[in-house]
Amino acid sequence: MDATPSADMRPLTGHGVRGIGRVTEGYVAALLAEEPAWAAEHVRLLVAPGQHVEQPPGMPQPWVTRRPGPMPQHLAPLTAWAADRWVTRGQRPAFWHITDPTRPLGPLPDDRTIVTVHDFAPLSTPALLASMRATRRLAYRRYLRLIGRARIVACGSEATAAEAHERFCVPASRIRILVPWVHADESPAQPPNGDQRPSELLLVGVSGPHKRFDLAIRTLAVLRQRGMGLDLTVAGFQTPSEGARLLALARDVGVGSEVVLLGHVKPGELSALYARSITLALSTLEGFGLTPVEAILSGGRVAAVDIPAYRDTVGEVAVFAEEATPEAVAGAVEAALATPPDPVRVTALGDRFSARACATSLRAAYEAALG
């Protein structure tokens, strides 16, 4: 058996404008940037054809393993499993790191697998689980079984770790926190100024039952009634039917011309949006809450509902609504408009989710798996 761990770093699909694909990319980028010698000696990546991995000078190419490209969605878990077994033949790694819940079949036994747990949104939101294709639900059930059996369960936040322990009785000895690397993307726009008053509201991601985009639109209507001249921008892919539904709701509550659906935006453009906006964080459940952290580190402000993930990540820099109602969220927006985040706390947030912190946590998880 090869003493080298292998990590599946293929691009993830179906997770919106940023989401867990962005977090996973950050893990490997941080490890290569901060621990290049250790990574070169101990880690081998699995990447898709054409996927570019920025390697430090002197890092040997053979540690990057490639496999055939993606197959149709309903076949993806099985074809990925078969291809992964083929590419690792004769090179059985010490353990396998599964990063994508839609591909929960690795080439090694479960007790030689580390699984990243991003959130439990489908379990907590019946409508979201019901909206999955049958094959996707089967893959998700396999993913849940893997959480109970894997050697290491890697969680993006303390809130997710606590839920993994409560739902699946995963002992603390098998849980590790993987600190995401979160940073502002370079933007051609003027550098963010925390004292600059935001000019709009921002939602980022794909609409779903647990994201509560409807609450954002109704909040905008309340703010408009109070004389606030704000618009709402939605960044992220929406299906045609969902986009039409959101715009119809906006018209029904009197803000039809104040809601803009941008679709997918580039990283630099998103940073510029963050910097001039109050980002709304309204989910009923998040495993980590990447969007509000990015927003703060890009120079923006955040109005959030009170859930454990948001408290854990941006509890000292966001403004929290007293309850998840349009009136209460509007009050949080007004408070965020009046007071920018404390620069000292923003700096501390950046340090907490730095490349160094991310790489240290990932290396610790891998060393724990290696025993």
Q: Does 142 share its domain with 231?
A: no
Residue 43: pLDDT band with limits 50, 70, 90: confident
Kindly state whether residues 151 and 167 are assigned to the same domain: yes
The confidence score (pLDDT) of residue 333 equals 98
In a domain, 134, yes or no: yes
Listed range (124-128, 219-223, 265-269) with the worst mean pLDDT? 124-128
Q: What are the tokens at 137?
A: 């639900």
Same domain for 358 and 346? no
CA distance 244 to 239: 8
Q: Alpha helix locations (H) across the chain?
A: 19-34, 36-42, 76-87, 121-124, 126-130, 134-149, 158-168, 213-225, 240-252, 267-275, 290-297, 308-314, 326-338, 343-352, 355-370
pTM of the model: 0.86
pLDDT in tens, 171-185: 999 999 999 999 876
Rounded (5°) CA angle 293-214-119: 45
What's the total number of domains in the chain? 2
Within a 10 A sphere around the Cβ of 60, how many other Cβ atoms? 9
**pLDDT digit string, tens, across residues 306-316:** 999 999 999 99
* Structural domain includes residue 188: no
Helix, strand counts (H, E) of the chain: 15, 13
By the 8 A CB rule, do 227 and 257 touch? Answer: no
Whether residue 342 has pLDDT greater than 50:
yes
Rounded distance, CA 361 to CA 355, Å?
10
Same domain assignment for residues 243 and 99: no
Are both 261 and 340 inside the same structural domain? yes
Q: What is the dihedral of CA 268, 264, 22, 79, to 10 degrees?
A: -140
DSSP 106: -
Sign of the Cα pseudo-torsion (305, 296, 21, 244, in order): positive
- Structural domain contains residue 187: no
Instruction: Identify the domain containing residue 210 by its residue range.
Output: 200-351
In tens, the pLDDT along 193-241 reads 445 678 899 999 888 888 999 999 999 999 999 999 999 999 988 889 9
Any domain includes 194: no
